[in-house]
């Protein structure tokens, strides 16, 4: 099996460090504060060798199982090509009748990315690479809806600053009509609705998670671009006798107006359509669905198998069944925390003439 442009190392070192950290987590479970830390490394021809570290801090803000576990994910890496990425992603579930929750992302990165043009049939020819400096601050705040007890509703805020450079060899970015070809600022405000019935945030085995959000970006708010994002994320989980779990997701990212190319819906990545580079296909509309089978096989070791289908298009009416792209693959799991059911994961995904390896914490969805 040939894995193009990826080399994942220190997997078993991460597993060992997880076991060592587990003794610490077990001793503080009564205090509700737990943590883990793992090193990682990877290599691509564009980035050269990279070294990084990831971590997770998690706790329950209430002893009741009705309050889901809060978490803060951290990640950072540095490459020999002087590229880097830092991210902080808290997800907080507050106790009380308001049932409030906060989701956020703070990130800063200098990376090499790819752009193949717009559409679901762009060729693998030419030089797709360009460099990007980006900062992003994203927040979702929601609480119990006044009208519907089962629904959380709230606000969305996003600020992002992107600088595109070293794009002279990318012919797709030489089009002067392409929005965002030099970068730009985004400032958006919107609202969301959420029904979260999962039994666990790290490894759900029953019920579902259903969210929609609508965010507006406009120059009157300080944005360089004028458009709207509409995202629907529907997930369902079902467990069976013997510890078998089946998970399904339907995801849609739809835009209206004039979004920049770097913020267009992007097919691929570690969460959906695994096996494709995130952004291999971009356009104004993106719809994907996936199913995944999960099973703890022996001791702390688990196995998953997944299948995905999806595509991008300029308009909803442009989606064609015969043009849908598929991806499939399998993954290994190491159960770090039995109480909270937290896994260290490695997935191998395959698309059409492409593949990818993904290593991290938690499930893809």
Confidence of residue 14 (pLDDT cuts 50, 70, 90): very low
- For residue 51, pLDDT over 90 is answered with yes
The residue with greater pLDDT, 99 or 335, is 335
Mean pLDDT is lowest, of 66-70, 146-150, 262-266, 322-326, for 146-150
Helices (H), the chain: 11-27
- What is the mean predicted confidence (pLDDT) over 273-280? 96
> Which pLDDT does position 172 carry in this prediction?
92
Rounded distance between C-alpha atoms, residue 53 and residue 78, angstroms? 10
Rounded distance between C-alpha atoms, residue 102 and residue 157, angstroms? 12
Percent of the chain whose predicted confidence (pLDDT) is above 70 = 91
- Dihedral sign (CA 358, 355, 47, 126): negative
> Which pLDDT does position 33 carry in this prediction?
86
Q: What is the CATH number of the domain that holds 236?
A: 2.40.160.50
**CA proximity to 305, closest of 333, 279, 277:** 333
**Please, what is the end-to-end C-alpha distance for the chain in angstroms?**
26
> Which pLDDT does position 40 carry in this prediction?
86
Which residues form the domain of 17? 11-361
Confidence of residue 13 (pLDDT cuts 50, 70, 90): very low
> Which pLDDT does position 19 carry in this prediction?
41
Is residue 6 a part of any domain in this protein? no
- The total of structural domains in the chain comes to 1
Is residue 34 a part of any domain in this protein? yes
- For residue 22, pLDDT over 90 is answered with no
Percent of the chain whose predicted confidence (pLDDT) is above 90 = 78
- For residue 24, pLDDT over 80 is answered with no
> Which pLDDT does position 38 carry in this prediction?
86
Mean pLDDT is lowest, of 95-99, 170-174, 227-231, 336-340, for 95-99
Over residues 293-325, the pLDDT tens digits come to 999 999 999 999 999 999 999 999 999 999 999
Total length of the chain: 365
Mean pLDDT is lowest, of 62-66, 86-90, 120-124, for 62-66
The residue with greater pLDDT, 319 or 63, is 319
- For residue 179, pLDDT over 70 is answered with yes
Rounded distance between C-alpha atoms, residue 70 and residue 57, angstroms? 8
Is residue 133 a part of any domain in this protein? yes
The answer to whether 314 and 283 have CB atoms below 8 angstroms apart is: yes
- For residue 8, pLDDT over 80 is answered with no
Rounded distance between C-alpha atoms, residue 114 and residue 278, angstroms? 9
Is residue 257 a part of any domain in this protein? yes
Is residue 2 a part of any domain in this protein? no
> Which pLDDT does position 329 carry in this prediction?
98
> Which pLDDT does position 44 carry in this prediction?
76
Q: Is the pTM of this model over 0.85?
A: yes
Hey, which residues does 326 pair with through a beta bridge?
309
Count CA atoms closer than 13 A to 156's CA, side-chain side: 21
Regarding beta strands 152-165 and 325-337, do their DSSP bridges make them parallel or antiparallel, or are they unpaired? Answer: unpaired
């Amino acid at each position: 099996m040939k894995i193009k442009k990826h080399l994942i190392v220190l997997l078993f070192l991460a597993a060992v460090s997880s076991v060592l950290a587990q003794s610490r987590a077990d001793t503080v479970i009564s205090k509700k504060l737990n943590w883990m830390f793992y090193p990682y490394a990877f290599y691509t021809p564009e980035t050269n060798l990279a070294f990084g570290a990831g971590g997770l801090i998690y706790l329950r803000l209430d002893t009741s199982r009705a309050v889901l576990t809060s978490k803060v994910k951290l990640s950072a890496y540095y490459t020999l090509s002087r590229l880097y990425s830092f991210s902080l992603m808290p997800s907080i579930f507050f106790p009380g009748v308001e049932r409030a929750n906060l989701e956020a992302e703070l990130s800063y990165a200098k990376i090499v990315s790819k752009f193949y043009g717009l559409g679901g049939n762009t060729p693998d020819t030419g030089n797709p690479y360009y460099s990007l400096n980006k900062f992003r601050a994203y927040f979702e705040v929601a609480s119990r809806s006044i009208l519907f007890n089962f629904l959380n509703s709230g606000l969305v805020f996003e600020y992002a600053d992107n600088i595109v450079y070293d794009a002279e060899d990318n012919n797709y970015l030489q089009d002067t009509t392409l929005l965002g070809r030099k970068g730009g600022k985004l400032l958006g405000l919107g609202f969301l609705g959420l029904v979260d019935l999962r039994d666990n945030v790290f490894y759900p085995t029953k019920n579902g998670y259903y969210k929609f959000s609508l965010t507006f970006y406009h120059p009157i708010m300080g944005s360089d671009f004028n458009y709207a994002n509409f995202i629907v994320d529907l997930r369902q989980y079902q467990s069976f006798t013997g510890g078998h779990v089946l998970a399904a997701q339907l995801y849609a990212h739809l835009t209206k107006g004039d979004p920049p190319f770097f913020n267009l819906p992007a097919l691929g990545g570690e969460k959906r359509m695994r096996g494709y580079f995130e952004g291999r296909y971009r356009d104004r509309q993106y719809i994907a669905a996936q199913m995944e089978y999960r099973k703890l096989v022996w001791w702390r070791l688990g196995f998953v198998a997944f299948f995905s289908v999806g595509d991008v298009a300029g308009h909803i009416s442009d989606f064609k069944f015969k043009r849908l792209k598929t991806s499939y693959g399998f993954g290994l799991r190491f159960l770090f925390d039995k109480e909270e059911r937290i896994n260290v994961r490695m997935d191998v995904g395959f698309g059409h003439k492409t593949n990818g390896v993904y290593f991290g914490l938690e499930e893809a969805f």
